[in-house]
Structures are given as C-alpha cells and as structure tokens.
Chains A and B, each alone.
Chain A
C-alpha cells in the first residue's frame, strides 16, 4: 500500500486527466494498426527467424537443426544466381527509371498546354496489373511474331530473342518496368513545380543556359525526390516476382526452369519455389531472414550514401 500510492501519484503527475483521456482514445483509434503491427509484422519476423533454424516441410512439426540452413545457403549455386539476378535487375532498373521519369517530368513542366492529356496517358499503365502487362509482353517479345521485333525488323535493326536469351531476358524486365515510370514522372513533376521560379530568373540574368540551370538548380533541389524514388525502387526491385513468374510460365508445370539458364530466377521467385514448390519451408525461412537483414543494411547504406548528395535547403540558405 505504501509503495503503490506515491507511484500512482507520480504517474498522475506526469499525465494529467486530459492527457490520459487522449492517450486512451488515441490508442483506441490506432488499435487496428497496433494489433496488425504485432500480429502481421513483428511476430511473423520472429517466427521466420525461428523457422530458419529448422527443417520444416509445412506438414510435420519443425525439427531444430541449428544453423544448417544458413550453411547450405553459402554453397547453394541457385541462391547466388538468384541474388545476382535480382541485384543486376534492380541496379539497372532503378537508375533507368529515375532518368525516364525525370525526362518525362521535365518535358511536362514546359510550356505545354495539353499537359493533362500526356499526364493521363503516361500515368495509366502504372496502375494496370503487372501480371496482365507481363502476359502482353510474352506476346510482344515473341521473336517471330511479336511487335517489338517486327518494329526492329522494319527499322533494319537486329532482332534479339528477348526472353529466350540470357543476355537479353533481364533487359526485357527493365524495359517492362519502365511502363510504371509514369507515376514517378508525376511525383517528379510535383517536385519540379515546387522549385521557386525566382531561382531560374536570377540564373538567367546571370546568363545561365538550360544545362547550367538544370545542373545547378533543378537537380540539387530534386535530390530528395530522387532519393525517395531510389529507396522505393530498390525495395520493390528486390521483391520482383510476378513478372518473372508469368514470363517463365510459373517455373513449374511444363517448363520447370526460370528462363534460359535461370536468368530470370529472382530472389523472391527462388524463395517461393523453395517454400511452395519444393516444400522446404525451413530453408525458405532462412532465405527470408537473409532478405530481411539485407533490406535493413541496404536501407541504412542508402541513407548514409544519400548524405553526400541529397540537398537540404536549410543547410545552404
């Protein structure tokens, strides 16, 4: 009794009745998220780490095998192949995506009155389902009767066997990904419109040409938006799955592989195969755990790297 009274008094001193009431209501309103956070994020992450230490087929109980799954990873050629494919794709798709989106955004930011037409057309493909777009591209990229090679042939250019050639299959993925550039172009456009016009005017008085203006004003002021694109692009790039699943015909069924020479075997595709085609849930959990750690490291690295080039107005002004 003697200990409880001052403790309660102290708590009451820290939180007044209004604050306590607000805390109760605040927690009440966010309770769905709180529950989801623990049940659908925190607990599954912990559970993933536990499963990664077991041999588990999904049917019988998991058997604890220590770090054996992680040892297996180091000598698994398909693990390295899938990690390589995913990094290759991501490191190519992200910068290409930034350049395409920036180019479209700058074009839309000029004296173009009918900009809303372009805006709508460029944005539309980014909300269409990627599985349907992939189905279209199986046909578009068909070496014999696809449209892409038909056009290249008309132009007298060589016609690669896009999805059938390991040297071109990932390039095909990067190309398909550009159909989503429209929404980033709109994000960039919003950023461009936020740059004060006086900056350009004073640069013009100083005799700056378009390139200098872009290099000295537009690019530095756009770096926060570019960083945002890079982070989301990296995160989504590492997760790429649906496209390769469709383009390779599911990697199961008839084909069995993941594109020529497994060149379309991405990390999540491999994880999916291990878990749901080979019944290796424990090993797949280890792959998940590794992905979690890599994501954390990558996010940290990008933020660190960004400190060197992302421009924050407050510093200079």
Chain B
C-alpha cells in the first residue's frame, strides 16, 4: 500500500499516474477508502475485475469506493483555468463527477488551453461534456469584472 522506501538509492521511476489493472486475477486487496477523512481500511475480494465482497467499510460510500477502485478507478479532478479581464487571475475548477484516472493528464492538457473571460458564480459550467466523458467542468469560485 504505502511505499516504504528505505533503499538509500533513489528509485529511478517515472512519476506517471499509477493505473492498476486487475484483469485475470481472483484475489483479495486491502485498500484505504478516501471518501472521507476517516480512511476506513477495506478488504476487497474480486474476480476478473469485478468486486464480489467488501469488508471494513463503516458506511455505504466505502463499498462504492471499493467497486469503483477495482472496476474503474476515478477521481474528481481539481485545477485552475486562466481568467482574462476578471478580478481573479485564475478560476478554480473541478469536474462535477469523478473521471477515470487514465484521463487525468489528458484533462490537464485540455484545461491548460481554456480561458474564462465572462464573470461567473461557483457552480457555473465552464465546459459541458468535458473530454466527451459526460461530466461537466465547473467553476468553484465566484469571479467578477
């Protein structure tokens, strides 16, 4: 789970996104739920990419997290979009729903191309159907002229 490196030589690996694939395995995985700050330890049994049992979740969110983490790991992405002619230099934005982890760097590239020029409220849509994923990119802070 948590990489505990005591090797005095710095590991030479990329800091690319870790996308685990669980295909073809039937096994158990321990994971920590990240839905809330409690951080429940979950024991997840799965077969061929499908979750069959989740133990250790103190609320239903944990089961949902375990299923999504095995079957399609996804995260809400937060970033900033450049603003022009507004009182803020940057508009903080997020996806309104989690997006697959594998799309995160593609999403960052897309966000870097965006520019906001009109005043908006927290919750206003910046991009509809972001990356064709069926999620919205929404502003999270008010910006005025």
Q: Do A and B bind each other?
A: no
Which B residues are closer than 8 A to A by beta carbons?
A: none
